[in-house]
Chains A and B, each alone.
Chain A
Amino acid sequence: MTDMTVEAALAEELHRIAPDIALDDIDRTQDLREEFDIDSMDFLTLVTALGKRFDLDMPEADYPKMESYDALLEYLRSKTA
């Protein structure tokens, strides 16, 4: 899995949940859920989709490592590397 596909997959799943928010318009270092205006159910849906896509557990204990777009991307990269 290359970096490019991880990033594209993340963008795609985020777009599915928050189609009205463009990646270019958000601050990638800030709170993901506030930037994309997603609630706890949306976030769970995102985690579920990413977990299935990359065959990851995405444990709740790791949620703090997924707090911003950049952090989540880094997390996915490290887990799929």
Chain B
Amino acid sequence: MSAFLMPSLGADMEAGTLVEQLMSPGDNVTRGDVIAAIETQKGVIEIEVFEDGVLDAWLVDPGTKVPVGTPLAMIRSTSDSSAADPDTPDTPEPEAPQPHDPKPASVPREDPAPHDPAPQGPGPEVPMPEGPFPEIPVPEDRAATGPAPTPPRQRISPAARRLAAQTGVDLHSLGTGAARPITRSDIASLGQSQSPAQSDMRAAIAAAMSRSKREIPHYYLSHSVDLTKAEAFITAENAKRAPDERLLLGALYLKALARAVKKVPEMNGTFEEGEFHQSEAVHAGLAIALRSGGLVAPALFDTDRQNLDDLMTSMRDLIARVRAGRYRARELSEATITLSSLGDRGVDQLYGVIYPPQVAIVGIGTPALRPWIEGAKVVPRLTATLTLAADHRVSDGRRGALFLTAIAKHLQRPETL
């Protein structure tokens, strides 16, 4: 028997809310199964189990916010012979001290509110020269104050709960006692406009980017790349293909980046606890803008091992899920390098901020026809500006330059990608 814990999905995450239990006690679980959805500052994220076994019991009710590390469920391992009594798979075994009541689960949460200095008056403890505190950040997430008082449970459909979490609707503000369960459309009719979920997203981005700028000594490089051949390759391929099989330049960028990483591997990995951990696998994080504002950069796993068609399929799948607010915990935490492409309606170039603990981010500006020197002539070519922001603790400009030119070279031979 082992406990399935609220995972940490980044250094800036302290707590999460269980919004959906996607498996039931008695279900067989296999490593990699999506067992639950949790809400964090970054939205609703699906989390996976890391072992094979049988889900024994849930310890936390949906809607409950708990600190990272809190047991969410108990999983009976298949190798757990002691519990292997096939006749009574569902017996609630009393051995584990299970905080089945939702209340205890929400208690250990350190609520910042009580620490507010307001009621204490001018306490001598903190040397703050200006008496009145300027805008005490009564915390960013109002959601934190939500679940504590456990009013009578309102019945609510899972889809409604998910939407509420995504849009930041406080379920407790809906009142209770409605005769019918709350549905998705009830939630949709509420909370348009700027929601707490959006400001949470902004806070999460701010936390990660502040850490990046504080800890990572960035250096920046840029390089112009001729995309004429890449574009021609795509045009020729797509002329033969139905819409759902067509390629986008983005797939070529990803593949070229994954190839270049093989040549300059110190761009790919994480810097943690004072040292660089180079990653063998290439999991490129793809920066994806959300329509509601903000962006995320979830990983496309094994970018280097996928061909262009696989990459298109992966991108479509990932982008669709991100837009729907559903992506997996591993996708958020396991990217080894980030790619941010401005697409074909953007501006010339971007200056990336590295997403810690990664050590590099590649930017690709909007391709456009620009003057290019070929031989002794100026000719119009489709070009874009590649940029690199990388971590000086791990590499320097010479290696960075090699990396960018390698990407550019691979893009000159699209048929080999």
List A residues at the B interface (Cβ < 8 Å): 18-20, 31, 33-34, 37, 39-41, 44-45, 47-48, 51-52, 57-61
Given A41-B248, A45-B316: A59 in contact with B239 (beta carbons within 8 A): yes
- Bound-state Cα–Cα, A20 to B167, Å: 13
- Bound-state Cα–Cα, A57 to B249, Å: 20
Q: Are B291 and A20 in contact (CB under 8 A)?
A: yes
A19, A34, A48: residue with the most chain B Cβ atoms closer than 10 Å: A48
Q: A41-B316, A47-B243 are in contact. List 5 more A-B contacts (CB 8 A).
A: A20-B291, A31-B345, A48-B243, A58-B243, A60-B235
Cβ-closest 8 pairs across A and B: A48-B243, A51-B243, A60-B238, A48-B244, A39-B343, A47-B243, A41-B319, A58-B243
Q: Are B248 and A40 in contact (CB under 8 A)?
A: yes
Q: Are A39 and B242 in contact (CB under 8 A)?
A: no
Q: Does B315 contact A (CB under 8 A)?
A: yes
Q: Are A33 and B250 in contact (CB under 8 A)?
A: no
Distance (Å) between the CB of A43 and the closest chain B CB? 9
**Please, which residues of chain B bring their CB within 8 A of the CB of A19?**
291
- Bound-state Cα–Cα, A19 to B325, Å: 14
Q: Does B215 contact A (CB under 8 A)?
A: no
Nearest B residue to A50 via CB reads: B243
Nearest B residue to A17 via CB reads: B323
Distance (Å) between the CB of B347 and the closest chain A CB? 13
Distance (Å) between the CB of B364 and the closest chain A CB? 12
Q: Does B396 contact A (CB under 8 A)?
A: no
Q: Which of B224-279 contact A (CB under 8 A)?
A: 235, 238-239, 242-244, 246, 248-250
Distance (Å) between the CB of B335 and the closest chain A CB? 18
**Please, which residues of chain A bring their CB within 8 A of the CB of B140?**
none
Q: Are A41 and B250 in contact (CB under 8 A)?
A: yes
- Interface size bracket, B side: 20 to 34
**Please, which residues of chain B bring their CB within 8 A of the CB of A51?**
242-244
Q: Are A61 and B246 in contact (CB under 8 A)?
A: no
15 residue pairs A–B, Cβ–Cβ below 8 Å: A19-B291, A31-B345, A34-B345, A40-B250, A41-B248, A41-B319, A44-B246, A45-B316, A45-B320, A47-B243, A48-B243, A52-B243, A57-B242, A60-B235, A60-B246
Task: Report whether over half of chain B's contact residues are helix, strand or loop; otherwise say mixed.
Answer: helix
Q: Does B145 contact A (CB under 8 A)?
A: no
Nearest A residue to B289 via CB reads: A39
**Please, which residues of chain A bring their CB within 8 A of the CB of B343?**
39-40
Question: Contact mask B314-352 → A, CB, 8 Å, 1/0?
Answer: 011001100000000000000000000001110000000
Task: Report whether over half of chain A's contact residues are helix, strand or loop; otherwise say mixed.
Answer: helix
**Please, which residues of chain B bring their CB within 8 A of the CB of A39?**
289, 343, 345
**Please, which residues of chain B bring their CB within 8 A of the CB of A57?**
242-243
Q: Does B292 contact A (CB under 8 A)?
A: yes
Nearest A residue to B249 via CB reads: A40
**Please, which residues of chain A bring their CB within 8 A of the CB of B316?**
41, 45
Nearest B residue to A46 via CB reads: B243
Q: Are B243 and A44 in contact (CB under 8 A)?
A: yes
Nearest A residue to B248 via CB reads: A40
- Bound-state Cα–Cα, A39 to B243, Å: 15
- Bound-state Cα–Cα, A59 to B249, Å: 17
Q: Are B238 and A40 in contact (CB under 8 A)?
A: no
Contact of B344 among A20, A37, A40, A52 (CB under 8 A): A40
- Bound-state Cα–Cα, A34 to B292, Å: 16
- Bound-state Cα–Cα, A31 to B344, Å: 13
Q: Are B235 and A37 in contact (CB under 8 A)?
A: no
**Please, which residues of chain B bring their CB within 8 A of the CB of A47?**
243
Distance (Å) between the CB of A67 and the closest chain B CB? 12
Nearest A residue to B292 via CB reads: A20
